[in-house]
């Protein structure tokens, strides 16, 4: 079993490539791989329940671990109670720990 962390920095409303990363994460998870999706910068915009992409992110969180950078959330005025189901706020330190973990594969998008 492989361990992956996929980092998304872009807003799905700006870039259709974001959906490709979500699909990749789900595909890896289907292979019984451990997958964490870390959303940072504008990548946190779809995590709100009320967002048009909120349901998509909640569906992703059913198959993978979805973490949203706390600083990016604060900078965009997104409160924890607004997060889609399954999305967990996390510090950038968490991302650093994931990236340096031995054997983990990182895809930065």
Q: Is the pTM of this model over 0.75?
A: yes
End-to-end CA, the chain: 22
CATH code of 3-108, in short, is 3.40.1260.10
Give the C-alpha separation, 80 to 87, whole Å.
9
**Token match 């979805």: residue?**
66
Q: pLDDT digit string (tens) for 18-49?
A: 999 999 999 999 998 899 999 999 999 999 99
Could you tell me the residue ranges of all domains in the chain? 3-108
Please tell me the predicted confidence (pLDDT) of residue 2.
87
Give the C-alpha separation, 78 to 72, whole Å.
9
Q: pLDDT digit string (tens) for 72-100?
A: 999 999 999 999 999 999 999 999 999 99
pLDDT for residue 5 is more than 80: yes
Structure tokens at 2: 């492989």
Residues 52-60: contacts with CB under 8 Å, at least 24 apart: 52/13, 53/12, 53/13, 54/84, 55/84, 56/12, 56/19, 56/22, 57/84, 57/86, 57/87, 58/84, 58/85, 58/86, 58/87, 60/22, 60/25, 60/26, 60/86
């Amino acid at each position: 079993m492989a361990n992956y962390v996929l980092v998304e920095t872009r807003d799905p409303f700006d870039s259709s490539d974001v959906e490709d990363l979500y699909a990749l994460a789900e595909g890896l998870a289907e292979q019984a791989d451990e997958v964490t999706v870390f959303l940072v910068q504008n990548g946190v915009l779809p995590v709100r329940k009320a967002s048009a992409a909120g349901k998509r992110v909640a569906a992703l969180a059913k198959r993978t671990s979805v973490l949203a950078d706390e600083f990016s959330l604060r900078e965009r005025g997104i409160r924890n109670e607004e997060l889609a189901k399954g999305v967990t706020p996390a510090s950038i330190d968490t991302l650093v720990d994931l990236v340096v973990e031995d054997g983990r594969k990182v895809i930065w998008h």
